[in-house]
Amino acid sequence: MGITLEYWNTLANQTILISALLSGFSIAIVANILVSDKNDKLINRILKLGTISAGCFLVSVFAMTQISMITTPGGYIKNVTINDFLIPRIIGLFTFMIGLLALSAIISLSGWVKSKRTGIFTSTIGILTLILILLTMVRVNL
């Protein structure tokens, strides 16, 4: 049984909201690192991951906006089929997942800036967070 266009519309709108919020968090991380005085290898990795995360979530927002526009009743495409938004679906879901991985990596690496003990804690939380997010997404048939 296929997913209805109404469901895709709702899913796209929810993903837009989540991606926009997570993109904002990622951009805030990047902005804070850019104005900080620290400039070591770990900080640069976190900066790169933040940039990847923000970029991926922004791409996801626009891909899901395309899906939302296509699947909105009375939209600009008549007689819509699931194949009409195959490319935005693939791009949107792929970039959303890459954004989640990058954001989880930021959480994991952030504590290592302070100390080994804090780094172990944040790494544990980052990995646990990613596992729990992925477990909740397993039941969704995308």
Annotate 8-32 with three-state secondary structure: HHHHHHHHHHHHHHHHHHHHHHHHH
What pTM, to 2 d.p., does this model score? 0.88
Number of neighbours of residue 82 by Cβ within 10 angstroms: 14
Residue 96 lies in a domain: yes
User: Residue 38 above 70 pLDDT?
Assistant: yes
Whether pLDDT at 103 is above 80: yes
Q: What total of structural domains would you count in the chain?
A: 1
**Which pLDDT tens digit goes with each residue over 55-99?**
999 999 999 999 999 888 877 777 777 788 899 999 999 999 999
**Domain range for residue 106?**
5-137
- Per-residue model confidence as pLDDT tens digits over 44-56: 999 999 999 999 9
Q: Is residue 142 situated within a structural domain?
A: no
Residue 73 placed within a domain: yes
**Percent share of the chain, pLDDT over 90:** 74
- Give the confidence band of 141 by pLDDT, cuts at 50, 70, 90: low
Residue 67 lies in a domain: yes
